[in-house]
Structure 1
Amino acid sequence: MPQLEVDGAALTYDDEGPRDGGGVPLVFVHGWTANRHRWDHQLAHFAEKRRVVRLDLRGHGDSGGAGVKTVAELANDLIALLDHLKIERFVLVGHSMGGMIAQTIALAHPERVERMVLVNSIAKMAFSRGRGLLMAASTLVPFKLFVATNIQRAFAPGYPREEIRGYVRSSADTPREVVMTLYGAMRAFDVLDRVGEIQVPTLMIHGYHDIQLPVQQMLRMAKAYPDATVRIIDAGHELPVEKPAELTAAIDAFVTTG
């Protein structure tokens, strides 16, 4: 497991696949409380023909570090890694909070992003006042209950309970400071008024049953994008593990066109 030290954090990453041919590298970014293994299916598929990079974000998985307060700081970590790997241009694929990171990079470094795929992600969390109060109140319950509640509701009805429990355990291993701070960072994230500046072709793939970041919010965002393709899949919020083959096929079709 290679690691890169960035601002006091050892970031663990994978860099696999051929260096020549097959198009620009694919860069996969996981979401809140997850880790790089959310992308196992996609890595196995794409690394056969093109370079693929994925990382554990600061404070997640096998990466160290804490103290991160904003989505922009996570985006800076990723740019530091790509600079280290001498990857100048790339395709960004981000799930949930990873999609927020992707949009942040596309706005700050448009010349480096060839295409972008947003999986169950939005540009702004816009909920009713009642839902907002409920979300704020949820942070007052015991930490493990807070994590369990959020992760369990991320999956569509019918997903195997034992697998969900495994994801709950993995998420609860993320340091409390990281979990709670980034929960607030996601709620504060708002680039909705700027997404019209993102000129790169963008694929938005969303689970129909996503109640964490409802599909209606993604559609609101898609209207503001100059070049967006929308795909709705029969799944919940955790598309990379709920419907991995279908997601991989959609990404493959998108990155190999044009």
Structure 2
Amino acid sequence: MPQLEVDGARLTYDDEGPRDGDGVPLVFVHGWTANRHRWDHQMEHFASERRVVRLDLRGHGESTGAGARTIEELANDVLALLDHLGIDRFVLVGHSMGGMISQTIALAHPERVERMVLVNSIGRMAYSRGRGLLMAASTLVPFRLFVAANIQRAFAPGYPREEIREYIRASAATPREVVMTLYSAMRAFDVLDRAGEIRVPTLMVHGYHDVQLPVKQMLRLAKGCPDAVIRILDAGHELPVEKPAELTATLDWFLSR
């Protein structure tokens, strides 16, 4: 797989699909402790007709490098990759923390973003009491148990346990320093008061059963975003893998509007 050296990190990425296909390239950005394979279904579907790029963020998946200190630093990594690939204008699709990265790029470089899709993402972190206690306990329990608790609650009730265990194993492979540094970065992320500055057509698609970042938090962002369209699907926080076909169909609908 191709890789790019960026500021002390080696980013692993996929760049597929026809260069002269319909529409500008799609850029998929995964979330906290995840990797680029969250987008397997969407990659397979869209790469048949247009250029599609996805990456493992630094410290995740098959990318190396210490965790970034801010969401802006992760956004700079994504932009460095796109510049390297010669992609000037694109559609951003970001899940959870990837949605925070996407918002950061759209606010800083609106001329480069044709459209944006935020999947289970928000404009300001506001953890529930339960999530706060879980994070506070992170220094007292084995790292794997901490990761397992976070991933377990990310899925809607009834999702197959054996599949959840696979995602727990993959997330636990993310270095603890990366996980905790980016947790702090997400807590510091706040663009809610700048929602009105997001002028690109934006789709906010969310899982109804998301307890990590509840729907009501997404609605706070949508309320201030002038070009937002909302879709709620029957899923939890891990919508890209819980309902991959439904998410892909929703993206198809949005891109064809």
Provide TM-score, normalisation by structure 1: 0.97
Q: CA deviation at 1:185?
A: 1.0
Q: CA deviation at 1:131?
A: 4.6
Instruction: For residues 144-166 of structure 1, give each alpha carbon's deviation from its aligned partner in whole angstroms, at most 9, with x where no partner exists.
Output: 11100000000000000000000
Which residue of structure 1 aligns with residue 233 of structure 2? 233
Instruction: For residues 72-117 of structure 1, give each alpha carbon's deviation from its aligned partner in whole angstroms, at most 9, with x where no partner exists.
Output: 1000000000000000000000000000000000011110000000
Q: What secondary structure is seen at the aligned counterpart in 2 of 1:116?
A: strand
| CA shift in 2, pair 1:123/1:65, >3 Å | same
Q: What secondary structure is seen at the aligned counterpart in 2 of 1:15?
A: strand
Instruction: For residues 13-51 of structure 1, give each alpha carbon's deviation from its aligned partner in whole angstroms, at most 9, with x where no partner exists.
Output: 000000013100000000000000000000000000000
Pairwise mapping of residues 155-166 of structure 1 onto structure 2 (< 5 A)? Answer: 155-166=155-166
CA distance in 1, matches of 2:223, 2:130: 24
Which residue of structure 2 aligns with residue 222 of structure 1? 222
Runs of 4+ displaced beyond 6 Å: none
Identity of aligned residues (%): 79
Which residue of structure 1 aligns with residue 209 of structure 2? 209
Q: CA deviation at 1:178?
A: 0.4
Is 2:133 the partner of 1:137?
no
Q: CA deviation at 1:132?
A: 6.4
CA RMSD of aligned residues (A): 1.0
Is 2:116 the partner of 1:116?
yes
Contact 2:58 / 2:67 at 8 angstroms: preserved in 1?
A: no
CA distance in 2, matches of 1:228, 1:133: 29
CA distance in 2, matches of 1:149, 1:213: 15
Q: What secondary structure is seen at the aligned counterpart in 2 of 1:182?
A: helix
Q: What secondary structure is seen at the aligned counterpart in 2 of 1:139?
A: helix
CA distance in 1, matches of 2:187, 2:136: 13
CA distance in 2, matches of 1:213, 1:194: 19
Q: CA deviation at 1:68?
A: 1.3
Is 2:24 the partner of 1:29?
no
CA distance in 2, matches of 1:24, 1:206: 24
Structure 2: 5+ residue stretches without partners:
none
- Paired AA for residue 176 in structure 1: R
CA distance in 2, matches of 1:249, 1:6: 34
CA distance in 2, matches of 1:116, 1:18: 21
Q: CA deviation at 1:136?
A: 3.9
Is 2:39 the partner of 1:64?
no
- Paired AA for residue 113 in structure 2: V
Q: CA deviation at 1:126?
A: 1.8
CA distance in 2, matches of 1:56, 1:135: 26
Which residue of structure 1 aligns with residue 243 of structure 2? 243
Instruction: For residues 180-221 of structure 1, give each alpha carbon's deviation from its aligned partner in whole angstroms, at most 9, with x where no partner exists.
Output: 111111111111011110100000000000000000100111
Q: CA deviation at 1:222?
A: 0.4
Pairwise mapping of residues 165-184 of structure 1 onto structure 2 (< 5 A)? Answer: 165-184=165-184
Structure 1: 5+ residue stretches without partners:
none
- Paired AA for residue 47 in structure 2: A
CA distance in 2, matches of 1:131, 1:46: 38
CA distance in 1, matches of 2:247, 2:18: 22
CA distance in 2, matches of 1:57, 1:256: 28
- Paired AA for residue 18 in structure 1: P
